[in-house]
Amino acid sequence: MLKRSSHDVVVIGAGVVGAACAYYAALAGLSVAVVDRGPVAGGTTGAGEGNLLVSDKEPGPELDLALLSTRLWRELAEVLGGPAEYEPKGGLVVASGEAGMDALRAFAAHQGAAGVEAAEIPGERLRELEPHLAPGLAGGFHYPQDAQVQPALAAAHLLRASGADRYLGEAVTAVRTGPGGVVTGVTTDRRRIDAPAVVNAAGTWGGEVAGLAGVALPVLPRRGFVLVTEPLPRIVRHKVYAADYVADVASGSAALQTSAVVEGTPAGPVLIGASRERVGFDRTLSVEVLRRLAGQAAALFPVLAEVCVQRAYRGFRPYLPDHLPAIGADPRVPGLYHACGHEGAGIGLAPATGLLISRQLCGTRPELDLTPFRADRFATERGAAS
């Protein structure tokens, strides 16, 4: 016989987004259960770099979400303390030529109108910020609002701070509904959890969870690799990336894309990304991708050419066709909420997502308009009923 328990809300997913949803729901006074078929941060979160970026986002709903999260991460850093390794170190976006600088200037000007802080750095002054950068770069932009956390630690400490009941290593097999299709809870392979609200924070598997509730959500995996070097002195001070990274983030192409993203960590290793390709859940190690990433990083920081790479890991970003996450109540299933599809920005956007979900759960007005994030926005283009 299945065990049975009751809560105000069940969060499916123990990554950083699910942990943030649990944290803010509990902060609002709700009784929360978190269910995951694996461990805490066992999916996309555990394979992330910990980026908290505004620098790569153009004005619009996602940037609004990122700016709200920037403020919330600062607050959470005080709550969680040092173990989450929050670093407000800022970002540096660099261009090799004048055409790239022109594009960065235009991009930063539009962002500035939306509340993003950015300062142009001439090429001859780049090495004041990053002494080991390659010579001859045209210039760049410094973004002081960019930051970083250790994602698995951040998720674990957020979840612990929530006080939520945790059911790890349990797969959700059903999202249960009652009369009128209203959510009544979930069933796992071990227990039944009753609740009038279920939050789908299942990341790359968000589409599968939506399917359990009888609705479509076109979440797809987008694979990426990260290289991890041997521990080093702090030779990279900021999050540093080449200008073409912004275009790669916004691209909907399924083909392989790589652009140098380099950053140091408090523990010493340098993290090197980023790659993107849609290959399903293929976990095959791609030597070609690793070679590209290493070459692009060494072009930015020549000192890395002689550094040993200790390991590489891969993860799958939860991708939605318009590059916006699904956040908020699903009008097709009363009591179902979504918090997934953040692609590579989930760690940065987690606090805002969790806060907005908690506002809806409690029937209070969210800080942002959630219309652009509605899960049913894909229904028309998929030919389904709205």
Average pLDDT over residues 290-319: 95
Summarize the confidence of residues 326-352 as an average pLDDT. 97
End-to-end CA distance of the chain: 38
Give me the phi and psi of 227, to 5 degrees please: -95, 145
User: What does the alpha-carbon distance between residue 361 and residue 364 come to, in Å, rounded to a whole number?
Assistant: 8
C-beta separation of 243 from 93 below 8 A:
yes
In the CATH hierarchy, which top-level class contains the domain 3-47+152-219+322-378?
Answer: alpha beta
Locate the domains of the chain by residue range: 3-47+152-219+322-378, 91-144, 220-319
Query: Does residue 380 carry a pLDDT above 90?
Result: no
Contacts of 173 by beta carbon, 8 Å cutoff, 6+ apart: 187, 188, 189, 212
Name the pTM for this structure: 0.94
Point out the least confidently predicted range of 85-99, 147-161, 257-271, 321-335: 257-271
Q: Per-residue pLDDT for 385 more than 50?
A: no
Interval 102-119 mean pLDDT: 96
Which whole-number Å values give the CA distances from 188 to 169, 194, 214, 226, 344, in the listed order?
10, 11, 17, 33, 28
**φ, ψ for residue 144, nearest 5 deg:** -70, -15
Fold of 220-319: D-Amino Acid Oxidase; Chain A, domain 2 (3.30.9)
| Residues contacting residue 20 through CB under 8 Å, at least 6 positions apart | 158, 350, 351, 353, 354, 355
Q: Is residue 122 exposed (0-12), middle (13-18) or buried (19+ Cβ within 10 Å)?
A: exposed
Task: Give the whole-angstrom CA distance, residue 229 versus residue 264.
Answer: 10
pLDDT digits (tens, 9 = 90+) for 12-21: 999 999 999 9
Residue type, 244: D
* Tokens at 103, concatenated: 């594009």
The tokens of 182 are what? Answer: 């209203």
pLDDT in tens, 202-257: 999 999 999 999 999 999 999 999 999 999 999 999 999 998 766 555 555 667 88
Name the CA dihedral angle for 203, 208, 209, 213, rounded to a multiple of 10 degrees. 150
* pLDDT for residue 310: 95
* Contacts of 127 by beta carbon, 8 Å cutoff, 6+ apart: 133, 135
What was the pLDDT predicted at 258? 86
What is d(CA 292, CA 244) in angstroms, rounded to the nearest whole number?
14
